[in-house]
Amino acid sequence: MSAEPRALLYAIERELKVLSWWQSVPPPAKALASTEPFCLDTLTFPQWLQFVLLPRMQALIDAGAPLPTRISVYPMAIESFKELAEDTRALEEAIARLDEALSGQQVSREG
């Protein structure tokens, strides 16, 4: 594995904070229980990263459980961020590196 997943999760958290997207109050449990991919019907993509992806991945790491090898978060990040004024390149790169670390596959970068 090229990059340490724990460090990449931290990088994603750091970039969410840099962009002022980190929230101190979690969404309601009902929003987190969505069955849609990325909880698209109840959460923003940054909320999904903070309240679904990061805690689930951290729990797997802490438990010593196998990490997913079929993961593709980067394309969703590109789609979610393309209309935003904020500079999301560092966050996109951290997400791409997480995809690569877990899948073992090179991610095709946009731009």
Distance of CA 7 to the CA centre of its chain: 13
Judge contact between 91 and 77, C-beta under 8 A. yes
Quickly state the pLDDT bin for 109 (edges 50, 70, 90). Answer: confident
C-alpha to C-alpha distance for 69 and 110, rounded to whole angstroms: 22
Q: Per the structure block, which two tokens stand in for 40?
A: 């698209």
C-alpha to C-alpha distance for 48 and 97, rounded to whole angstroms: 18
Question: Using N-to-C axis directions, what is the helix angle for 89-103 and 5-18, rounded to 10°?
Answer: 160
Amino acid letter, residue 23? Q
Question: pLDDT by residue (tens digit) across 23-81?
Answer: 999 999 999 999 999 999 999 999 999 999 999 999 999 999 999 999 999 999 999 99
For the whole prediction, is pTM greater than 0.85? Answer: yes
Chain length of the chain: 111
What was the pLDDT predicted at 1?
Answer: 41
Which residue shows structure tokens 């999760």?
9
Question: Using N-to-C axis directions, what is the helix angle for 89-103 and 74-81, rounded to 10°?
Answer: 160
